[in-house]
Amino acid sequence: MATVTVLPDNIDFEAKSGQTVMAAAVAQGLYWPTTCGGQGLCTTCLAEVVEGAGNLLEMSRSERKTIVAERGESALHRPVRLACQAIVLKGTISVIKPGVRPAETSA
C-alpha cells in the first residue's frame, strides 16, 4: 500500500501496489482530469512528481513517447508522469496536479 498526496490541495489517498495513480484516485472517489479516459494518449492527467518518484514503476516507452509528442522533449527534463500510466509500487508519493477533487455524485 502507498499513500499519495496531491498538491496544491493536499488531497491524500491510498493506492494499492500495481495501481496507477489515477486509477487509485478514482477508486477513492476522486475526479482526475483526463481527456483520453486514461489510455495514455493525451497529457491531460500529467502530474509533476515532487516526492517519491522512486516509489513508482519506471516510465514506459509509450508513456515517454506520449509526453514528448504532446509536450516536447524538454518536458522530460522535469519530473513529470502521466497519472494514468504511473504505476504505484510502495511508500509515499506527492504530486502536483491542479483540478483533482472529489467526484460529483448524482443523487
pLDDT tens digits, one per residue of 13-50: 999 999 999 999 999 999 999 999 999 999 999 999 99
pLDDT reported for residue 85: 98
Query: 43 lies in a domain?
Result: yes
Asked if residue 84 is part of any domain, the answer here is: yes
CA distances, 91 to each of 15, 36, 49, 51, 52 (Å): 10, 28, 14, 10, 7
Asked if residue 106 belongs to a domain, the reply is no
| pTM over cut 0.85 | yes
- 107 located within any domain: no
CATH number for 38: 3.10.20.30
**Rounded Cα distance, 75 and 88, in Å:** 21
Q: Mean per-residue pLDDT for 88-95?
A: 98
Query: Does residue 97 sit within a domain?
Result: yes
| Residues of the domain holding 82 | 2-101
Asked if residue 107 has pLDDT above 60, the reply is: no
Buried b or exposed e, range 56-73, using 16+ CB within 10 angstroms: beebeeebbebbeeeeee
Which pLDDT band, with edges at 50, 70 and 90, does 106 fall under?
low
Tally of domains in the chain: 1
3-state secondary structure of 59: coil
